[in-house]
Amino acid sequence: MQQPQNTEKADRRRTVGLEAQEQVGVRSTDSGENTMMNGTKFQELVLDRNNLNEAYLRVCRNKGAAGLDGMTVDELLPYLRKHKQELLQALQNETYRPRPVKRVEIPKPNGGKRKLGIPTVIDRLVQQAMAQVMVPTFERVFSDNSFGFRPNRSAKDAIDRVVQFYNQGYHYVVDLDLKAYFDTVNHDLLIRFIEQYITDPWILHLIRRFLTSGVMNGGLFERSDKGTPQGGPLSPLLANIYLNELDKLLTSRGHKFVRYADDCNIYVRSKRAGERVLTNVTRFLEGDLKVTVNEDKTSVSSPLRAKFLGFSLGVGRGGAYARPAWQAKQRIKSALRKMTKRNRGVSLNLVFNEIHQKMRGWLQYYSVGKMTNFIRHLDEWLRARIRQYIWKQWKKLKTKVNHLVKLGLSGTSAYTMANTRKGYWRTAHSKTLTYTLTNKRLERLGLINMSKTLQSIQSA
């Protein structure tokens, strides 16, 4: 998330509460050393003053909702100024106990619910400090074909790799879908996988405590015997560590694959090969990793039809290219339709702000794909929706006449248009409204020109 202006001064002010603590660690977390091999304890690295300060600043920048104790990010610094020594002591002597995460559910694009667990801000601080120390160790062993929740890697990089594989002749994909992956991670296996690279008992014990801290669902406490709830800074790293075992298997067998968190696609040259790979990989995932493959959503198909990270592939003279998947196009159009529903009764400025905020992010994400024609048609459709919205807002005959005259129509033409018996949608496409509420005038009022915005993003 981009920091607002003057954040450097604000960040320096925030660190005051942590700078006064004694320096527990003796080595920098960015030394690049393998702490398992040289004997440095992870406790020293996690509790290092600079590492804790950086963790604090990241938690503040990421903001987020309050956890079970109700403490907000803004209340974190006053708390640390008062309780930092007892927090450090609890972490050092292993009496620190994470609070249960607060369960929240957010809607998924397919209509389901995604379960998130919100840790307290104190627990987020500790998790962030742990993650910062652990990431360098695991970045050295993670697969080059893994892209999710990793530094300097993005969905764009994953899609570029997919295009590369297709152009190399891998025209079939094993599209794996894991059922409730984050809720089914086996704790004992996860700790075993971590121990391959980190043997410090202090951090292993702390990870176990976070994994088993439980979930508060409404007023009911639920034990967490398995799973790593989404929502905490440590969860994405633990999820990648667990599925790194799948990456190692696929790499050892010479498979072409792309994994983004729990979304994994394996690319093969024939459907028969894909079915064979799917059988073997399913056996490994369910037998060795104790996770469940969702048979209804897992398939062997063409990347031209399959959807991965919201993209599918197209093929032209220059080879394969990425494009927004059909479902992604339908969802964005549906979202714009809701924003421009003519009986919403909110100001035009608010509608324009909502559209701009939504479309700027959407275009930024999908700009790697080929979609010039789609965006041009979407622009035309959206402008018609806005003209319909404006026509509905004018309501009364006199208001319509006055506005049309101000926009350049004669009094007679304005009166005739204002008395039209056509429906709102037909009126929005009429020559009169396209002549008066021109594209340029709508832009001046604040409507985003998506074609220009896309061109600007792609040329940046």
Give the pLDDT confidence of 151-202 residue by residue, as tens digits. 999 999 999 999 999 999 999 999 999 999 999 999 999 999 999 999 999 9
> What does the pLDDT look like over 378-420, one tens digit per residue?
999 999 999 999 999 999 999 999 999 999 999 999 999 999 9
Domain edges within the chain: 36-301, 323-459
Which tokens go with 331? 């969802």
Q: Give dist(CA 100, CA 68) in Å, integer.
A: 7
In our burial notation (b when 16+ CB lie closer than 10 A, e otherwise), range 404-434 reads bbeeebeeebbbebbeeeeeeeebbeeebbe
Instruction: Tell me which residue has tokens 């002597």.
Output: 93
Residue 40: band (very low, low, confident or very high) from pLDDT cuts 50, 70, 90: low
Which tokens go with 200? 């410090």
Selected residue with higher pLDDT from 112 and 101: 101
Which residues on neighbouring strands pair with residue 220, listed in sequence order?
217
Q: What is the pTM of this model?
A: 0.84
Quick one: average pLDDT of 114-126? 92
Whole-number pLDDT of residue 220: 87
Rounded to 5°, the CA angle 36-42-45 comes to 120
> What does the pLDDT look like over 85-107, one tens digit per residue?
999 999 999 999 999 999 888 87
Whole-number pLDDT of residue 110: 67
Which tokens go with 213? 């801290």
Quick one: average pLDDT of 301-327? 95
- The 3-class SS string of 370-396 reads CCHHHHHHHHHHHHHHHHHHHHHHHCC
The amino acid that residue 335 corresponds to is A
283 contacts 293 by C-beta, under 8 angstroms: no
Of 442, 434, 223, 446, give the one whose Cα is nearest residue 349: 446
Q: Give dist(CA 238, CA 123) in Å, integer.
A: 16
Please determine, for residue 17, whether its predicted confidence score (pLDDT) is greater than 90.
Answer: no
What is the distance, to the nearest Å, from the Cα of residue 424 to the centroid of all Cα atoms in its chain? 37
For the chain, the straight-line distance linking the first and the last C-alpha, in angstroms and rounded, comes to: 19
Which residues on neighbouring strands pair with residue 316, listed in sequence order?
319
Share of the chain above pLDDT 90, in %: 81
Whole-number pLDDT of residue 262: 94
In our burial notation (b when 16+ CB lie closer than 10 A, e otherwise), range 109-127 reads eeeeeebbbbbbbbbbbbb
- Residue 71, SS3 per DSSP: coil
Range scoring the smallest mean pLDDT among 219-228, 235-244, 356-365, 429-438:
219-228
Please determine, for residue 61, whether its predicted confidence score (pLDDT) is greater than 90.
Answer: yes
Of 304, 300, 299, 302, give the one whose Cα is nearest residue 321: 304
Whole-number pLDDT of residue 104: 87
Residue 18: band (very low, low, confident or very high) from pLDDT cuts 50, 70, 90: very low
Quick one: average pLDDT of 330-340? 96
Please determine, for residue 6, whether its predicted confidence score (pLDDT) is greater than 60.
Answer: no
Q: Give dist(CA 339, CA 123) in Å, integer.
A: 37
Overall size of the chain counted in residues: 460
Please give the radius of gyration of the chain, using alpha carbons only, rounded to the nearest integer.
27
Q: Is the dihedral of CA 284, 287, 291, 294 positive or negative?
A: positive
Please determine, for residue 229, whether its predicted confidence score (pLDDT) is greater than 90.
Answer: no
Q: Give dist(CA 258, CA 66) in Å, integer.
A: 35
Long-range contacts of 197-201 (CB under 8 A, 24+ apart): 197/36, 197/137, 197/138, 197/141, 198/35, 198/36, 198/42, 198/134, 198/137, 199/36, 200/35, 200/36, 200/41, 200/42, 200/43
Please determine, for residue 22, whether its predicted confidence score (pLDDT) is greater than 50.
Answer: no
Whole-number pLDDT of residue 111: 66
Phi, psi torsion values for 257, nearest 5 degrees: -150, 160
Q: Give dist(CA 19, CA 26) in Å, integer.
A: 15
Mean pLDDT of the chain: 90
CB atoms under 10 Å from CB of 156, counted, come to 17
CA of 76: how far to CAs of 49, 125, 133, 234, 238, in Å?
A: 16, 9, 21, 19, 25
